[in-house]
Amino acid sequence: LPDTTFPADRVEHMQQVSKDLILEVEIQKNKMVKYLGKLVIYLEDLKQLEARLTILESSPDDYIKLDFEMLRIELREFEALVSQLKDSLNSSSPLFNSLYIEIHNMTLLVNQLETYDKSNLEVIRHQFAKLQMKLEECQKDQDIIKPDIGNCNHTGILSFSNPLVVQFNGHLSSSYVYGGWGKDSKPIRGYENLHFYGAYTSPGGVYDFYFYTNYENLLLRKNFKRITLPNEWVGVGNNYIVHSNSIYYQHNSPFSMTKFNLTSSKYDYRVISDASASFSYAYSGSQNLDFAADETGLWVIYASDENKGKIVIAKIDEKSFGIENTWHTGVYKQSAGNAFMVCGVMYATRTVDINTEEIFYAYDTKTKQERNLSIQFKKFQESYSNLDYNPSDQKLYMYNNGYYVSYNVKFNKE
């Protein structure tokens, strides 16, 4: 990628200069009563300009949409005001000269920021998307993992590829460490490549989702549809999935599994009588109901008081949105970092060290047999809040401390 980076430090300097300008003009107001009305108006305009410049640092996406010509016009007007005040007082004070120079420098910087946008940000994002897809193809060839979509003609997971770090989260912020991303695990016709992302600064609330028509748009953070849940349907836990064009997530009022249909925009919920809100995974709080999908259907993983805090696996009837069957495992939910389903088998994970995770336990719902395992795989960051297998491409999707990460899964064919 080009070495040229976005000049955040210079933007910060511009903001500080803007604040200084406001302060200095405030001091001069007492000497210029006849221009008080104009000063009030222009000071407000300058504050708005400062707020808009703050966007440059906080969100490059909004930065692209800024009207740079309007910024230049407002700066010219402010420059004219300073010149007018200077002439009216017939003064050559160094203060006026300093104000004039600083405004001129801000104008030059706005022009340069626009150049950065046109020459770098948009082009780099397209180049990055192409490089990312090439990298995935190279990794597939290197790992020699040939997906057999929809089939379960294997004896279980053998290994994982190295983690593919897709990119930083869609908010471009290190604060959004809780969330999830991935692909619809049972896409409907016309939405075969639907990808999603949602992230938050705490595990307490799940309310915002971003949907992209394909993987490339996810990488470019463009052409997305934003879904914001109303207050009465806000979820928790970040263990949601998108399955058959519906979001499945945990809702706490009442404590239940909830479904939002993206096609009809209708909500539905079911209370699971034996599910407990007291047991979460080791890495994140409020993850009491964990939704999963595999080749056999839709699942929810939780713990119950009856099972003494150990994991219960429940199969969801997609038509009635009820519990079809349950299996009681022998692993404590709080000892696991997360869990997911593959071909009717639940796999539970835990940490080995800051760079390594392992599958340490498996429960087969067909045979009702449990096994202790040690299938290790690398992590990009130490902790994560969402881990799900997707049967539509046989990949494992992880939201790893603010990063989109995925793994190719290799199965044991013996």
**What band does 13 get if pLDDT is binned at 50, 70 and 90?**
confident
Choice among 120-129, 295-304, 320-329 with the minimum mean pLDDT:
120-129
- Kindly state the percentage of the chain with pLDDT values over 70: 69
- pLDDT digit string, tens, across residues 270-300: 999 999 999 999 988 899 999 999 999 999 9
Which residues are within 8 A (CB) of 300 and not within 5 positions of it... i.e. 6 or more apart?
Answer: 248, 257, 272, 289, 290, 291, 292, 314, 316, 323
First to last CA, the chain: 43
pTM for this model (two decimals):
0.69
SS3 sequence, the chain?
CCCCCCCHHHHHHHHHHHHHHHHHHHHHHCCCHHHHHHHHHHHHHHHHHHHHHHHHHHCHHHHHHCCHHHHHHHHHHHHHHHHHHHHHCCCCCHHHHHHHHHHHHHHHHHHHHHHHHHHHHHHHHHHHHHHHHHHHHHHHHHHCCCCCCCCCCCCCEEEECCCEEEEECCCCCCCCCEEEEEECCCCCCCCCCCEEEEEECCCCCECEEEEECCHHHHHHCCCEEEEECCHHHCEEEEEEEEECCEEEEEEECCEEEEEEECCCCEEEEECCCCCCCCCCCCCCCCCCCEEEEECCEEEEEEECCCCCCEEEEEEEECCCCEEEEEEEEEEEHHHCCEEEEECCEEEEEEEEECCEEEEEEEEECCCCEEEEEEEEEECCCCCCCEEEEECCCCEEEEEECCEEEEEEEEECCC
- pLDDT digit string, tens, across residues 180-239: 999 999 999 999 999 999 999 887 789 999 999 999 899 888 889 999 999 999 999 889
CA distance 10 to 113: 10
Q: Give the pLDDT of residue 66.
A: 46
Q: Give the pLDDT of residue 23.
A: 75
Rounded mean pLDDT of 143-169? 84
Average model confidence (pLDDT) for the chain? 82
CA distance 372 to 370: 7
Choice among 59-68, 158-167, 271-280, 312-321 with the minimum mean pLDDT:
59-68
| Cα angle: 37, vertex 38, 43; to 5 degrees | 105
CA distances for 96 relative to 49, 86, 328, 362, angstroms: 20, 7, 77, 74
Per-domain residue ranges for the chain?
A: 9-114, 157-411
**What band does 63 get if pLDDT is binned at 50, 70 and 90?**
very low
Q: Give the pLDDT of residue 71.
A: 63
- What type of residue sits at position 12? E
Q: Which residue has the tokens 């897709």?
A: 166
CA distance 8 to 17: 14
Higher pLDDT, 113 or 42: 113
Rounded mean pLDDT of 315-341? 96
- pLDDT digit string, tens, across residues 77-100: 666 666 666 665 565 666 566 666
Task: Report which listed range, 4-18, 84-98, 126-140, 249-263, is most confident.
Answer: 249-263
Q: Give the pLDDT of residue 132.
A: 62
Sign of CA dihedral 132, 136, 137, 143: positive
**What band does 168 get if pLDDT is binned at 50, 70 and 90?**
confident
CATH class, 157-411 region:
mainly beta
